[in-house]
Amino acid sequence: MSNQPVVYYGSKARVCLGDRVEKHGLLRRRVGRINYVPGISTPNHDMEFNGLVYVGIELEDGGVIATLVDPENSSLKKSIRLLERDSGQIQEIQPTDEFEG
């Protein structure tokens, strides 16, 4: 990834820790908060590897998902939409956190 900030698809709006987002899937809509942003968060080897980087989303139902950042334009997928900025406390993904893959 370049040194460009991660942005939401089709916009110049930067992805920030704590943002409330909506992820559209085939069968359902999921809401959560951004808890990992490459270039902002302390690097985690599961979220930044082989030249690819991911944004972490802590879902309201308690799960955590990682969504790929497009390496060409540093944007998230179209299925991730910003709902609102939220500067409240968030449990960030830590450098030692591990994820099954």
| pLDDT for res 100 | 64
- CA distances from residue 72 to 1, 56, 86, 92, 100 in whole angstroms, order as listed: 8, 19, 27, 26, 26
In a domain, 57, yes or no: yes
| pLDDT for res 75 | 98
In a domain, 91, yes or no: no
The pLDDT tens digits of the residues spanning 8-35 come to 999 999 999 999 999 998 888 999 999 9
In a domain, 74, yes or no: yes
Reply yes or no on whether the pLDDT at 56 is more than 80. Answer: yes
Domain that holds residue 30: 20-84
| Local confidence band at 59 (pLDDT 50, 70, 90 cut-offs) | very high
| pLDDT for res 2 | 57
Number of domains in the chain: 1
In a domain, 75, yes or no: yes
Can you spell out the DSSP letters for 71-101? TTT-B--TTEEEEE---S---PPPTT-----
In a domain, 2, yes or no: no
In a domain, 14, yes or no: no
